[in-house]
Amino acid sequence: MSWTVERIREEMNKFVDVFNKTFECEVGYTSLPIYIDKRLVRCDGYLKHRKVCNITVGMMFTFGESFLVNNTDSIIIEKIRHEYLHYLMILKYNKHIGHNDIFEMHCRKLGIVCT
């Protein structure tokens, strides 16, 4: 089955359920836009974010079409979860924390590769 925006969203929602169970919290699902970029080749995907009135907000998830076509489902799911975790960290800390110790701790607890 090919990767579509709808399938990515479904995978994100599954991850929210895992996150809530792991950390015993109630994070809701996001409605941030998801974009599949035909030209993205230098990275697999990313979360676009920016500061608005001193608060960092997530703007959009972008995934490279070539990444989605040329990788296994498990690698793609790992990337989706990784990018979504960046979004959850922005919600929790009101800033983008990158790949710091806190992010790495969350990755380990959730079984996500941090790189």
pTM for this model (two decimals): 0.93
Instruction: Tell me the per-residue pLDDT of 69-115, one tens digit each, with 9 for 90 and over.
Output: 999 999 999 999 999 999 999 998 889 999 999 999 999 999 998 87
Q: Which domains does the chain have, with CATH numbers?
A: 5-110 (3.30.2010)
What's the pLDDT tens digit per position in 26-70? 888 999 999 999 999 899 999 999 998 888 989 999 999 999 999
The total of other beta-carbon atoms located within 10 Å of residue 12's CB is 20
